[in-house]
Structures are given as structure tokens and as C-alpha cells.
Amino acid sequence: MRRGLLALIVTLLCLPSPAAADVAVQAYALPPGGGPHDVAVGADGIVWYTAQRGGQLGRLDPATGKVDLISLGPTAAPHGVIIGPDGAPWVTEGGTNSIVRVDPHTREVKRWALPESRGYVNLNTATFDKRGRIWFTGQNGVYGRLDPATGAMQVWDAPRGRGPYGITTTPDGQVYYASLAGSHIARVDLDTGAATVIEPPTKDQGARRVWSDSRGRIWVSEWNSGNVSRYDPGTKAWKTWKLPGDRPRAYAVYVDARDKVWLSEWTANAMVRFDPETETFEAFPSDRRGANVRQILGRPGEVWAPESGADRLVVYRVK
Amino acid sequence: MGLLVGGAATLAGLSPPRADPGRGERVFQRCFACHSVAAGEDKLPGPNLRGVIGRRAGTLAAFRFSPALVAAGARGLVWTRETLDAYLADPSLFIPGTEMGLPGLRESDDRRDVIDFLERRTP
């Protein structure tokens, strides 16, 4: 075992038959204790995940199941990871209050720290706009923007204080974030940075994460209400659906390449796929107790879910 | 009550409370996104921590706890300096199935100071 690099061949597990015949489910066991929080898959099929408890970034090659761990520092506690336009994983690194890029080839870790005057902001999630700038949320009540080309970083106070959580970019380049504690979503002005609050119809719904479909409509996972809701910026109209089951709680949301909406639902310990055309849900229960999927990301044909409570990455391959 | 708890903490090998009120509040910024110590602020993602010292785990009426926290409380877990220290050091290890996202406060000084802070918010 080499320093800073833990590699192991993992067991590939075939899970019980999924609810839908067009979906094949496969789980990858990860090094124990890492607590995989967020996941991102690149165009090359390599999967990156944040091992939040371990302070590391993980790299999974799904073809072999091999996992490498890259240390982000002794005080690191990475929350989010996305793939940037440069093909590299970019991390919202909460432990060091910084945005981190890891070179996918050399594994070099480059860090942009938030201004010390901001203090600890509890960095959450990031997204790139179409101008090469990365926008991020800090759950303690901020959002910000970094231009990696110049190193310029700006941090703004969120309109209603603590809560900024998930963040996404629409196909036409608009940036929206969700405020969990604030129970709203907000659109960010890409030039001025000003955030405009958009109120969902359900009070105190706990908007945790957001994702855009191919038409730029914003899908919201509502933790408190157990709803998934959709905001259409063109018409400013909302539509809301309750997830199935008793007292559901929707944590993560992701819209796949076919505009199907994937959610993680914690009460039933399941992944849920919602078809906006038929307005129907399909559930894919985990075979592990307390899987606790906190985020979802994918690429065409694949939806990846980190089971933070089971130290696994699970992929839903759609035929 | 505070003296009794503090004495128990020392016997258990924990550092005694120290007189830096500001530091504990700064450490609490790690918890701030989800928790409040302000009376009545009960619509955050985590339970209100005002008066948490001495409270049975998973029992605050205004909050929907995870089954793991409810079960821990049913088994008799009460939040003391010692149990909070163990929980905050590694939440998922101390209570498997907890939904709290905090990966843990690795430094014992941080845990001591934030517990000091919480203890001061226990009426």
C-alpha cells in the first residue's frame, strides 16, 4: 500500500431486481469509514466521490472496482464534488473552508481559500456557469463565485441567512441554489452576484437540492415536506408532487439525460425515479439499512448515488 | 448541576471547561447551519440545542429525529458532557444511523469548547 494512495479491489455486488426492467443496479463497496457524501462521474466514466469522514477524495474505476483515495489534508472534510469543464474534480472542501481542484492525472491538489474574514461558512455544493466560473454555497448563509483563471473570488451574504445548499446550472447558463433552512430557491445574477429569492408554494418545505432539466426548469427536493417540486422560469409557475410512502423526506434530486427525475427518499431508504410525463414514481429500495443517499449525479445512461451510511457507491444503469 | 457535570467530565478524562466563551461559539459555527440555541428557533434542519445538556436523546417534541436517535434515547442515552463528547468525535460511530451530516470534531479542544458553549445555553 503506497502512502496517500489506498487501492483495493472491491466487491461488485448485484442487488435484488430493481423495480423497473430498464434499470440495472450495481453497488461498489468502498473503503470503510469514509462516509461518501457526494459523487460525480466524468465523461471518461471515472467516478469521484468525497469521503467526508476520511478527509479524502475517492476515485473509482467502475470497470475494475479499484478505488484510490487522495488525501485533501489533515483537517479536510469535503462535502461536494463536481466535474469541471476541464474534466477535473472540483471539491467544496468544508474542513479547510476552500474550493479545491484535484488534477485527475497527477493528483495534484490546488486550493483556493475563502477570505479569512468570512470565517467558517460550511461549504456545501458547487456548479460551473458557462463562463468557466465556479459558484458555490455555504450553508452558514453565503454563496460565492471563483474564477479559476484569475483566482478572483467573491462571497455574498445569502438573502435570508443560513441555508444555501444545492446549486445547479441550467442549459442556458443560469445558476440557481436551494436554501434548506430558508425554504426557498434563488436565482443568481451572473454579473452582479445578486440573488433573487423564489418562493415555493409549500411553506417551510425545506428545499435542499436543485437540478435543471433540459428545458431549464428547476427541480427541487423538499426535505421537510417530502415533495418534489418544479419551477418554470419561463412562466414562473410551480408544480408539486408528494413522494410515495409514509412521511417521505426528499434529500437529493438529479434530472437525467432523458428528463427523468431521480430522488433519494430517506424514510423508505430508497432511490425514487419520477416520470414527469406520466407523473408516476418508481422506487428502488436499498438493500442496506440507513443507506442515506445525500446527493445524486450521473451522465447519459448512468445515475450514481453515494450511500453515505453504507460506504458504497450505487449506479443505476438505464437501458 | 454544572459543577457536578464538570467533575464527572474530569473523572472521565475529559478536559475541564475553560474560560474562553468566544472560542466555543466560534466552534459552534460548524453546527450553525442546522442548529440554534435561540429559544423558539425550531425550524432548522437539526434540533434546537438550547438546554441539550441533560436531555434524553431524540426527544425534543418539535423535531423529527432519525430512528437511530429515537432508539438511542429509548435505550437511555442522555446528553451529558461525556456523551456529547463521544458523539461529536464521530457521530456515525457513536450512533450508527444518525442522520447528522457533521463528520465529527476531531480535536478534543473543539469538542470541549463547544460543549462549554452548549452548557451555558442550558437554563
Which pTM does this prediction carry? 0.91
pLDDT tens figures, A123-175: 999 999 999 999 999 999 999 999 999 999 999 999 999 999 999 999 999 99
What's the one-letter identity of residue A84?
G
Residues of chain A with CATH 2.40.10.500: 1-111+285-319
Nearest to B92 among A35, A120, A223 (CB): A35
Task: Say yes or no: A294 contacts chain B, CB-CB below 8 A.
Answer: yes
A12 has pLDDT over 90 = no
Give the minimum alpha-carbon distance from B8 to chain A in angstroms, rounded to a whole number.
29
Is B12 a member of any domain?
A: no
Give the minimum alpha-carbon distance from A243 to chain B in angstroms, rounded to a whole number.
18
Return the residue of B nearest to A311 by Cα. B92
Contact B44 A181 (CB under 8 A): yes
Please give the share of chain A, as a percent, with pLDDT higher than 90: 93
List of residues 6+ apart from A31 with CB closer than 8 A: A6, A8, A51, A54, A58, A67, A69, A311
Q: Which of 164-223 (A) contact B at CB < 8 A?
A: 180-181, 183, 204, 206, 223
Domain coverage including residue B29: 2-7+18-120
Number of domains in chain B: 1
A115 has pLDDT over 60 = yes
CATH code: domain of residue B114: 1.10.760.10
Give the minimum alpha-carbon distance from A22 to chain B in angstroms, rounded to a whole number.
31
Beta bridge partners of A207: A222
A36 has pLDDT over 50 = yes
**What confidence score (pLDDT) does residue B18 get?**
61
ipTM score over 0.90, yes or no: no
What is the mean predicted confidence (pLDDT) over B73-83?
Answer: 97
The CA angle A260-A272-B102, to the nearest 5 degrees, is 115
Hey, what's the cell of A129? 456557469
Residues in A closer than 8 angstroms to B99, CB to CB, are: 266, 292
Q: Which of 52-71 (B) contact A at CB < 8 A?
A: 68
A1-111+285-319: CATH topology = Thrombin, subunit H (2.40.10)
Contact B90 A53 (CB under 8 A): yes
Architecture of the structural domain at A114-242: 7 Propeller (2.130)
Residues of chain A with CATH 2.130.10.10: 114-242
Alpha-carbon distance of B59 to B61, in angstroms, equals 6
Task: Say yes or no: B22 contacts chain A, CB-CB below 8 A.
Answer: no
Residues in A closer than 8 angstroms to B113, CB to CB, are: none
Alpha-carbon distance of B111 to B32, in angstroms, equals 15
Q: What is the DSSP string of A170-192?
A: -TTS-EEEEETTTTEEEEEPTTT
Task: Say yes or no: B106 contacts chain A, CB-CB below 8 A.
Answer: yes
Element (H, E) at B120: helix B108-120
Total CB pairs under 8 A between chain A and B: 49
